[in-house]
Amino acid sequence: MIRVIGAGLAGSEAAYALANRGVQVELADMKPRLTPAHQSGGFCELVCSNSLKSDDIAGNACGLLKEEMRRLGSITMEAAEKTRVPAGGALAVDRDAFSAYVTNALCSHPNITVISEEVSSLPASGIVATGPLTAGGLYDDIARLGALHFFDASAPIVSRESIDMAHVFSQDRYGEGEGDYLNCPMSETEYKEFVHALLAADRAVLRDFEKKEIFEGCMPLEVMAARGEDTLRFGPFKPVGLSVGGKRPYAVLQLRKENAQGTSYGLVGCQTNLKFGEQKRVFSLIPALHNAEFERYGVMHRNTYLESPHILNADLSARANPALFFAGQITGVEGYVESAASGLLAGIEAYLRLSGRETVVPPSSCMMGALARYVATPNPAFEPMNANYGILAGGFEKVRDKKERRRLLAVRALDEIERFKTQICG
């Protein structure tokens, strides 16, 4: 029997990986009690976006990571395929159906026993995947190991029927997909009015967070806008690859389906920490959203992660206690897919150790191995890391075409994952 603490993306993957290899798993999760960021009692809840990013295996680092996970039997990738909603070249899901699929898979598995419990201290062994909002006594224990934190934000969601379709056009950037995004164009005057209102709006948290405490990969819109009037037009509101009436808009807010029915749409890239009333006032300045009904407002919350280079081995076990593994965002990986991947890897590594075998870490020439080695490698400027080609082991430098070079990197990575599968099955 092994205990997995936390039934988010990482914990769900870890529990499923162990159970499918014949290990009896006790999966402990605090739900039905919720953190400030969670809203449902299901496992594997997606609290920010419903997008798992690009599904392009050869051209996108996260797409490659997802394929590596599929080949290792990932439950989240299985669930995503069953519950996906149209999103152009991205893999987006109906978040409620996604959570329900994983919850059912775990609760019905004969090797998994689910315990509703808030764990208050670190166990002597098992897998800790309690996520970036770990609190209470468990947080205190983890902090004694060496914990850092930053502040993360989520984006608002509006109802489809409240969107003014007279100010919307359907199109995916560069013509990819089948027009899955709703695009809300803005003129120069409308855009500047929006930015001015955004910067003047009241924020929900009164104290000012230091710059280093806000993660670059999920930055609140108002923080981004403060860097310059045109920052949003070169970021989440960029109009490149889009046109209406044969012309490129000055700026564009994109909306993406949040469920299969298409009754809810998320504001892409609009993570925010504004007060709820201010969110409605400011976003309603966008012509397509002037009568928008908000089904969920954006929120900001603390994300905790370990000083992993000093604490973890590359197999995600604790250096001071190899029987204890960590997984998910708490290890210093950032993003839904990255968190799930670390849980899958932790489950495999824990299985090897329980079987009396040496753990085997995938090489840094595949994305899963590169992320695991990143969090365990000494780094004085350590901060959360998304999947990216920059952390892959070198190779093919002489290939000048970037697309071809990434294709070759992807082929090599998937070959390494197949070799890894053979090693862990042996």
> Structurally, how many domains does the chain consist of?
2
For residues 7 and 138, membership in a common domain is answered with yes
For residues 399 and 312, membership in a common domain is answered with yes
Domain with residue 277: its CATH number is: 2.40.30.260
For residues 207 and 118, membership in a common domain is answered with no
Domain C-terminal end among 298, 326, 351: 298
pLDDT of the residue at 398:
86
Q: Chunk the chain into consecutive blocks of 10 residues (it has 426) and report each block's average pLDDT, rounded to whole numbers.
A: 96 98 95 59 83 90 97 98 91 94 97 94 95 83 85 86 95 80 96 97 62 64 95 96 92 91 90 93 98 88 86 97 96 93 98 96 96 92 84 86 91 97 87
Name the residue type at position 367: M
pLDDT of the residue at 322:
96
For residues 188 and 227, membership in a common domain is answered with yes
For residues 103 and 212, membership in a common domain is answered with no
Question: How many whole angstroms separate alpha carbon 32 and alpha carbon 89?
Answer: 35
For residues 107 and 229, membership in a common domain is answered with no
Contacts of 401 (CB under 8 A, 6+ apart): none
For residues 293 and 327, membership in a common domain is answered with no
For residues 400 and 313, membership in a common domain is answered with yes
For residues 279 and 385, membership in a common domain is answered with no
For residues 341 and 204, membership in a common domain is answered with no
Domain with residue 335: its CATH number is: 3.50.50.60
Q: 90 pairs with which residues across the strands?
A: 54
* Contact predicate 366/416, CB 8 Å: yes
> Backbone phi, then psi, for 356, in 5-degree steps?
80, 20
Domain C-terminal end among 278, 298, 318: 298
For residues 170 and 104, membership in a common domain is answered with no
The DSSP H or E segment spanning 370 is helix 367-376
Instruction: Verify cis geometry, omega within 30 degrees of 0, for the bond prior to 32.
Output: yes
Domain C-terminal end among 270, 298, 326: 298
List the domain range (segments joined by +) for residue 80: 2-148+305-425
